[in-house]
Structure 1
Amino acid sequence: MSIDLVALDMAGTTVQEGGAVYRALADAVAAASGSPVPAADIQRWMGADKREAIAALLAGAPAEVDTVFDDFRTRLAAAYEAEPPTALPGVESALTELRARGIKVALTTGFSRDVAEDLLTHLGWKIGGCIDALVTADEVATGRPAPYMIFRAMELTGVHSTTRVLTAGDTVLDLRAGTNASAQYVIGVLTGSQDAEILGQERHTHLLSCVSEIPLLLTRNGSN
């Protein structure tokens, strides 16, 4: 069956940013709570809505979630200014090829809209350019593992059937969201912080080394 939409995560999946997002998250929560955040706790929330992650990681600490979220954004912006994010190898050509085949491409992210748009600016990516839509966690009722960002991407791109959707991401929550959306392809990519052993324990259709392999996968499977 042909694919009409490819929905991709951003940081760690299509964008190389050196894990800055999770360092900024851990540092902001630690500054508010007064104690370091265990790496396992950060890993549990990789791919999630960052406000939801902060609320959970504070675990009853008195700091306001909005205040910590603002600190997180400030730290992340500084990190991106010091070391600008880049597209992962082969991603831009893969996005171009997918769109040339008539496949819509959407980015979904646990970032808020303003953070995600700043990231696109760093990359020089535009909606209507190499991507067709951007969906952020603050635009849906609940972030991953809920499937709502994928459904919103379908709405924005005019895709009606989840069986014609491919999702890909570098975290457990990305895979769970794809599974919850009943996507035809639920792909884990190994360019982020979670390895094949971790991702392989979740339901998925494929594990790939990177997003750049998706066009060839579709060709081999006769999907497009």
Structure 2
Amino acid sequence: MKNPIKLAVFDMAGTTIKDQSNVAEAFVSAFASHGYSQVSLQEANEKMGYPKPLAIREMLQAHTEEVTDEEVKKIHDSFVKEMIRFYRESPDIAPMDDALEVFESLQQMGIKVGLDTGFSRDIADVILERIGWVNHPLIDITVCSDEVKKGRPHPDMILKMMAALGIGSPLEVIKVGDTEVDIHEGLNSGCLMSVAVTTGAYTEAELKPHQPTHIVHRLLDILPLVAKEIGEPVQ
């Protein structure tokens, strides 16, 4: 007998929140403000989805022999300030067009919806407030990378959600995200599905080598996959 799907975990920026390289640009700006103007947008894009302090440390290691905790913190603090300013002020902040429709359809199938992110809670809360998703009835739980011991690609954020919602098996969970670390987070968690979506930082060709269980081009394409798995028509 198949396990029912009880939880769908979605990434935020690039998956359920529109992102036009805004996060990567904030990375580049934060590095430049501390004398690392050689850090490129491509380098930043390659670190999308990772916990931000870890991403900063790894990017620094490519440009300097000595990386200190203090330097990582300084750059991270600048990044956080830039992201909070952007998400508070930019007119371009919006959910993906089909995000709420997908959340509602999943809930009608009896599946809870969670959001996880490589952002720290201070940034995530600004995003959620700006788009009206704070305490939203279609979102059951949110977890941020600074609320667990290890962020992506480790399973800690998904395990935290499972514990909070009383879900016993990762085979009752699916993960959806737009980066390689989203894919590996789902795979490392043992999720029934680890679905890659091409709405964010990576193309299908770039995502495929990381072996997601499925690749889709919009969030709505997830619904028939789920419906088929649980033997129900799409709502």
Normalising to structure 2: TM-score of the pair?
0.89
Aligned partner of 1:77 in structure 2 is 84
In the alignment, is residue 176 of structure 1 matched against residue 184 of structure 2?
yes
C-alpha displacement at 1:101, in angstroms?
Answer: 1.9
Q: Give the total of aligned pairs.
A: 224
Distance 1:55 1:122 in 2: 29
Partners of 2:229 and 2:110 in 1: CA distance: 17
- Structure 1, unmatched stretches of 5+, are none
CA RMSD across the alignment: 1.7
1:221 aligns with 2:223: no
Q: Give the direction of change, closer, same or farther, for the CA distance of 1:223–1:45 in structure 2 (3 Å limit).
A: farther
Deviation at 1:175, TM superposition (A): 0.4
Q: Secondary structure at the match of 2:75?
A: helix
1:42 aligns with 2:49: no
Matched residue SS, 2:107: helix
1:4, distance to aligned residue in structure 2 (A) = 0.5
SS in 2 for 1:120: helix
CA distance in 1 between partners of 2:74 and 2:231 (Å): 46
Aligned-pair distance for 1:5?
0.5
The answer on 1:94 being equivalent to 2:102 is yes
Aligned letter for 1:106?
A: G
- Which residue in the other structure is 1:116 paired with? 124
- 2:5 and 2:230 in contact (8 A); partners too: no
Percent identity of equivalent pairs: 32
1:83 is displaced (CA, Å) by 2.8
1:194 counterpart residue number: 202
One of 154, 171, 175 as aligned partner of 1:167:
175
Q: TM-score, normalised by structure 1?
A: 0.93
Q: Structure 2: which 5+ residue stretches go unaligned?
A: none
